[in-house]
Structure 1
Amino acid sequence: MRWIKNKHTLLIAYILMVIVPLMFIAFYLLAFAQNRYVADSTIVVKQVGEVNAQMNNGIGALLGVSNTSSEDAQFLKAYIQSRDLVEKLDKKLELRKHFQGAGSDPIFELHTNSSKEELIKYYNKRVIVNLDESTMLLKISTEGFNPEFALKLNQQILKESEQFINEVSQRVAKEQLIFTQKQLEEASGQLKASREALLAYQNQNQMFNPQAQAVAIAQIVNTLENNLAQLRTEERTLLSYLNPSAPQIVAIRSQIESVQEQIEDEKSKLTSSGRSDKLNRSAADFEGLKAQVEFSTDLYKLSLASLEKARLEAVRKLKNIVVLTSPQLPQEALYPRITYIIISAFLLLNILFGIIMLIRSVIREHQE
């Protein structure tokens, strides 16, 4: 009789602890739980610039793209799960409104009047990002209470990811590009100013090249001095057999004086103490202005080359998202997995029931 009583008690306990909760779980899943559809996509980060062929392997070699670093994939994964992206998606897709569903499923739906932190937590339960460390492939799975929203959410995440990866990879390059553009503008202004100064000096002094003019005068002086030397030689020759008062001697001495005066006149154009309009000073000033123009030109060329290099570097660092498998409109709901949940609940409830019975038996043995 006692055995029957114990067996009856055990059966009632089993029904209360296993059967009733299991029926409640099954009833909730069948009556209240909403279907959730899943859209999947697989992406990889591609670098546009040239890469070492030794670094290409696997899917990267197959696609002709470089292996992205682990940092790029980790950054993108963190961004997809970040608050910034959740707020953007909430504005564009009304995440909160959709995640709240019909309001009949308090377990799997986002409850009304939830905070931003709760929205982000719920979002990361419905958007799963898996990173394959060996291939750096990112698989993005998005859940929605209807197939259209699951697809739209996945597509929008891909779009925002493309924009994010471009901004991250280009930020430093753009800053360098802006800096080199500013340097080019400054070099261009300096070159223009130095050229204007040179032109103003030429117009003011009414000479194209004082240095060339000084060289020409020096050549004239040299020629006159040669002529003077020849005339003096001729004078000494005539004096060897003529009187100093002879007409030939007087004529040649007159020529010598004229050449000497012309030499002094030409030399005075080149140099003169205390005057600033002479060719030597003009040539020196002109040479300084010309050197400034040449320096500004070289600086402009360097700035132009730096700008072109920065532009090439910006292109080389450009990255984008390669979609290996694009998201498709789901046909069947994957969640909730009713059979799996019921079987798992049944096993867990039985394990819990067995543990409680074991504890009860131990306590009774100690009491007896």
Structure 2
Amino acid sequence: MQIRLNKPLWIAYICCVLIPVILIILYLMVFAKDRYQSSSLVLVKQVADAQVSDTSGLGALFGVPSTSREDSQILKEYITSRDMVAKLNQNLDLRKEFSSVNDPIFALSEDASVEELVKYYNKMVNVELDEQSMMLKVSNQAFSPEFSLKLNKEILKQSDEFINQVSKNIAQEQQSFAEKQFKEATVQLDQARKNVLIYQNENEIFDPELQAKAVAALISGLQANLAQLKTEERTLLSYLTTEAPQVIALQSQIKSVEEQIAKESSKLTSPSSKRLNENVAEFEELKAQVGFASDLYKISLASLEKARLEASRKLKKLIVIAQPLMAQDALYPRKIYITITSFILLNILFGIGLLIHSIVREHRE
């Protein structure tokens, strides 16, 4: 009676557990193709020297601080991106290589779409980030050791070009902006200097301020001379009459000096023509524009030189810590692991199904 009760159970166990395990083993031994793995270890590093903040770790090893988390994360995302797949497919023909073997489960179908190719690529390529050292471990699988090595090297090559291009673009944008500002400052300075030359040529004057000072000095000298002549006049009038020849001659000199003073003063404040003080004000404004443009030119030139230095400092390079090597043994598929895991899972599922069946039967009874 016990044997009759257990017979259906054994049949179910054979159908649900043993036969699937045998099929899995048959597939792994006959159809599953070996996959070989290549791995490399890389680090993003600035090209220019930088001051070391500590004397331990990678900063002391390379002479610069460790690469930032942002750089490593960007590179990690790029390696797994569709752009990377497109470049690899163009250079290595990934689609042909991944679909070249007759493996119904682990191989890529020949008519796979781009999205399926990207998804399959991300299954075959694994990128791990070390949070402490910020180093990236790039591992990939392929159906031949030669292609696995070639794929890893091509990933490193494309990653290096990507890092260089991104850093160059950032540096060039900053440098282009500085060059634009420098050109604008140069044009502004040239125009300000031309305005000064045009003003000097139109007014036939080199420097109104110097001329005003010269006129003021001349007027001051004439006024001193006039004061001396008037002193002499008072002295003569103390013992001579106004009709005396000496007094008349001295008064004539006084009149000439007064006329000369009035003439020179009119150059500074005459309402009939453009006054010299207005020329001085206009010329000072033009000189101020030249000075401002000159200061702006110096600042933009310094900014341009700084941008050029910063451009060289921001250049980054992919440093390969561990070069990829050709695999000698196939690591995948892990046949023993898959077999044991499948056997355990099938047993668990069978046990759950048996438990459910027992509960349902008890409720019916």
Give the TM bin, normalised by the shorter chain. Answer: 0.7 to 0.9
Conservation of the 8 A alpha-carbon contact between 2:219 and 2:261: yes
Q: Which string of whole-angstrom CA distances, capped at 9 and with x for unpartnered residues, describes residues 247-269 of structure 1?
A: 32233223222222222222223
The corresponding residue for 1:243 is 241
**Alignment partners' CA distance in 1, 2:194 and 2:12:** 103
Q: Is 2:297 the counterpart of 1:300? A: yes
Structure 1 segment 254-273 matched on structure 2, within 5 A: 254-273=252-271
Aligned-partner residue type, residue 36 of structure 1:
R
Alpha-carbon distance between aligned partners in 2 of 1:60 and 1:295, rounded to the nearest angstrom = 45
Instruction: Specify every segment of 5 or more residues in structure 1 that has no aligned partner in the other structure, as ranges.
Output: none
Partner-residue secondary structure (3-state), 1:90: helix
In the alignment, the residues of structure 1 paired with residue 3 and residue 291 of structure 2 have an alpha-carbon distance, to the nearest angstrom, of 113
Instruction: Tell me, in whole angstroms, the C-alpha distance in 1 between the residues paired with 2:75 and 2:285.
Output: 56
- Please give the alpha-carbon distance, in whole angstroms, between the structure 2 residues aligned to 1:55 and 1:126: 38
Local SS of the residue matching 1:128: strand
Cα distance, 1:148 vs structure 2: 2.6
Distance 2:46 2:231 in 1: 85
Distance 1:352 1:270 in 2: 110
Give the stretch that moved more between structures: 110-119 or 181-190: 181-190
Please point out which of 211, 214, 224 is paired with 2:212: 214
Which stretch of the first structure deviates more once superposed, 250-259 or 32-41?
Answer: 250-259
| Correspondence for 1:119 | 117
8 Å Cα contact 2:124-2:142 kept in structure 1:
yes
Tell me what 2:126 maps to: 128
Q: CA deviation at 1:100?
A: 0.7
Alignment partner, residue 73 of structure 1: 72
CA-to-partner distance for each residue in 1:319-352, whole Å, 9 max, x for gaps?
3322211222333322223343344445555556
Could you say what secondary structure the match of 1:109 adopts? coil
Against the structure 1 CA distance between its residues 283 and 356, is the aligned structure 2 distance closer, same or farther, given a 3 Å change threshold?
closer
Q: Which moved more, 1:45-54 or 1:227-236?
A: 45-54
**2:273 counterpart SS class:** coil
Deviates more, 1:194-203 or 1:167-176: 167-176
CA–CA separation in structure 2 for the residues paired with 1:199 and 1:367 = 112
| Pair 1:236–1:93, CA change in 2 (3 A) | same
Residues of 1 paired with 2:150 and 2:213: CA distance?
Answer: 81
Give the share of equivalent positions with the same residue, in percent.
55
Deviation at 1:42, TM superposition (A): 1.0
Partner in structure 1 of residue 195 of structure 2: 197
Aligned AA (2:151): L
Structure 2: distance between partners of 1:188 and 1:366: 95
Residues 193-233 of structure 1 show CA distances to partners (whole Å, capped at 9, x for unaligned) of 11111111112222211210111111111111111111111
Shift of 1:18: 5.3
The aligned counterpart of 1:288 is 285
Between the aligned partners of 2:271 and 2:360, the Cα distance in structure 1 is 125
Alignment of 1:336-355 (within 5 A): 336-348=333-345
| Number of the residue aligned with 1:179 | 177
Cα distance in 1 for residues equivalent to 2:354 and 2:162: 56
Report the CA distance shift for 1:286/1:353 in structure 2 as closer, same or farther (over 3 A). Answer: closer
Counterparts of 1:225 and 1:251 in 2: how far apart (Å)?
Answer: 18
How far does residue 282 in structure 1 lie from its aligned partner after superposition? 2.2
Superposition TM-score, scaled by structure 1 size: 0.85
Cα 1:106–1:343 change in 2 (3 A) is: same
2:95 maps to 96
Contact in 1 for aligned 2:185/2:297 (Cα 8 Å): yes
Question: What is the count of residue pairs matched by the alignment?
Answer: 365
Moved more, 51-60 or 211-220: 51-60
- Counterpart secondary structure, 1:323: strand
Cα RMSD after superposing both structures: 3.2
* Farther off after superposition, 352-361 or 91-100: 352-361
> Would the alpha carbon gap of residues 27 and 237 (structure 1) be closer, same or farther in structure 2, given more than 3 Å must change?
same
**For residues 160 and 199 of structure 2, what CA distance do their matches in structure 1 show?**
57
Query: Structure 2 regions of 5+ residues with no counterpart?
Result: none
Are 1:56 and 1:67, in contact at CA under 8 Å, matched by a contact in 2?
no
- State the alpha-carbon separation in 2 of the partners of residues 91 and 151 from structure 1: 17
**Is the Cα–Cα contact under 8 Å of residues 57 and 67 in structure 1 kept in the other structure?**
no
Aligned to 2:137, the other structure's residue is in SS state: strand
TM-score (norm 2): 0.85
The CA distance in 2 between the partners of 1:7 and 1:210, in whole Å, is 122
Among residues 314, 326, 348, which one is paired with 2:323 in the alignment?
326
Q: Distance in 1 between matches of 2:356 and 2:279?
A: 112
- 1:270 Cα deviation from its structure 2 partner: 2.5
Which stretch has the larger CA shift, 55-64 or 12-21? 12-21
Distance in 1, Cα, partners of 2:348 & 2:292: 87
